[in-house]
Amino acid sequence: MGANHDHDPHPAPPARGRALRLGVGGPVGSGKTALVAALCRTLRDDLRLAVVTNDIYTTEDADFLRRNAVLSDDRIAAVRTGCCPHTAIRDDISANLDAVESLERRHAPLDLVIVESGGDNLTATFSRGLVDRQIFVLDVSGGDKVPRKGGPGVSGADLLVVNKTDLAPLVGADLGVMDRDAAQVRRGKPVIFSSLRERPGAPEVAGWVRSVLAETHEARSAAGTPRPAVAPGAP
């Protein structure tokens, strides 16, 4: 027996006609809402977007995004989980799924729906029934030991973002150690170091999102390409 916990790689593109659903998870205060705001600002001119936020007792994150006008108010929906954040993104995803589907209905067609989890610990991860891809956000102020502690978010997320690199000198975090440990536990899956304070548009993360959307479109067209027509009477 061990702590290994593997899932299938879930390569399938989303069903034809619906938006790509992207989860953003990670500990409290790591910069999830700041990253969602950055992605909205950077991507909203050429993609059709909507956002679902999760808070335990409030609608704080949705209020922040609306106050900052990153999207029109009706493209931002808040789920109040009333329970451990991971329950609502992993175990009983119905409230989140309702929120995503109702945004997709109201604003069809959408390219991307971002679902921000409530802040939680290293064991939190999204159900693949709720999102197609997930980003896990850590920040350097938790210490440079965090990536090697692993957990399904750190090791299994499609993208790991190590945020607040501007604070590294202040908290004595060695980014080289974080990079080496993250590469080891993630076995080649991508890691991006970011400072939303210094680069508020999160251009590298936005680039990753665009590349995932491009892959998804390619996979969809490959799956939807009709077989070449056979002329009647051909051998």
Residue type, 69: A
Q: Which is nearer to ligand GDP, 167 or 177 (CB)?
A: 167
Whole-angstrom Cα distance, residue 24 to residue 104? 18
Selected binder of ligand GDP within 13, 25, 31, 147 (CB under 6 A): 31
Selected binder of ligand GDP within 25, 30, 100, 202 (CB under 6 A): 30
Q: Find the part of the chain contacting ligand GDP (CB under 6 A) among 28-36, 71-79, 84-92, 107-115.
A: 28-36
How far is C-alpha 67 from the geometric centre of its chain's CA atoms? 22
List Cβ<8 Å contacts ≥24 apart for 123-126.
Answer: 123/86, 123/151, 123/152, 123/153, 124/25, 124/26, 124/85, 124/86, 124/89, 124/90, 124/152, 124/153, 125/25, 125/86, 125/89, 125/90, 125/152, 125/153, 125/156, 125/157, 126/23, 126/25, 126/89, 126/90
Is 30 labeled as ligand-binding? yes
Per CB under 6 A, 29 contacts ligand GDP: yes
- Binders of ligand GDP among residues 107 to 136 (CB under 6 A) are 119
Binding site for Mg ion (CB under 5 A): 32-33, 61
- Binders of ligand GDP among residues 66 to 85 (CB under 6 A) are none
Selected binder of ligand GDP within 28, 69, 83, 171 (CB under 6 A): 28
Residues of this chain that interact with ligand GDP (CB under 6 A) are 26, 28-34, 119, 163-164, 166-167, 195-197
